[in-house]
Amino acid sequence: MRILIIEDELRVANAIKRSLETKDYMINIESNSNRGLLKALNQPYDLLILDLMLPGSYTGKDITKILRNKGVNMPILMLTALGDVEDRIAGLRLGADDYLVKPFSMRELIARTQVLLRRPQNLISSILKVGNLELNSDTFEVKRKKINIQLSGREYKMLRYLMYNHDQIISKEQIINHVWDEDTLIMPNTVEVYIGYLRKKIDKNFPNEPKLIHTAFGFGYMIGLVNSDV
Ligand code: CA
């Protein structure tokens, strides 16, 4: 499950990120409303955690309205200050699903996040498919042609990230940011090593199947069904 946090108080955003990562969600943070809106529009997130007052051209209310008008239906959890009753009501009317009043406990945040993500329209994202490769993010099972593939925790996280973003070229930096803690110093060639492990398990062990993991030389990697390297 991928969650986008649009929040300019980085202390709050990072605390949310750390709490949700303990539940194995993948988190992106944007502090600026313009960049946040672009990400929410263009990337497949399962949930948006949205602050009301943001730097840039938009408020949280504006972002909610624009997303709903464009048919983006991921759940939105608004973060509001204590006095913002009118804003909160307006946000819910515009299509936000729930709100939390700052300061909130991380346990409450996790509970509400889990409720929002359990709604039926989001169930589809618990099984990711690329060709005949399947990853079930509820059971952590990975299968190709219905055959179980054993992955280490790191390999699993990397594969899940690539599959969430299938048919898009993903840079090594993006992989590092999503698969390792931000405090860990990771060299780009570590990514190559792990891609090598995944290639063996996903592609080389299935020699009669189409290759799924592709290298975009100088850019990064992509998972998808294409005829040759991109
Ligand atoms: Ca703010």
What is the CATH topology of the domain spanning 2-118? Rossmann fold (3.40.50)
CA of 173 to the centre of ligand 1 (A): 27
Mean pLDDT by 10 residues, the chain (230 residues): 94 94 90 96 91 94 91 89 78 87 90 82 65 88 96 92 86 84 78 96 96 92 75
The model's pTM: 0.56
CA of 3 to the centre of ligand 1 (A): 18
CA of 17 to the centre of ligand 1 (A): 16
The DSSP code sequence of 48-110 is EEEESS-SSS--HHHHHHHHHHTT----EEEEE-TT-HHHHHHHHHHT--EEEESS--HHHHH
CA of 7 to the centre of ligand 1 (A): 6
Q: Which residues of 123-135 are buried (b: 16+ CB within 10 A; e: fewer)?
A: eebeebebbebbb
Indicate the domain borders of the chain. 2-118, 127-223
pLDDT score for 158:
93
pLDDT score for 19:
92
CA of 217 to the centre of ligand 1 (A): 40
CA of 96 to the centre of ligand 1 (A): 17
CA of 51 to the centre of ligand 1 (A): 6
pLDDT score for 24:
83
Chain-centroid distance, C-alpha 46: 7
CA of 218 to the centre of ligand 1 (A): 37
Q: CATH classification of 127-223, choosing from 1.10.300.10, 3.40.50.720, 3.40.1390.20, 1.10.10.10?
A: 1.10.10.10
Please tell me if the domain spanning 2-118 has the same topology as the one spanning 127-223.
no
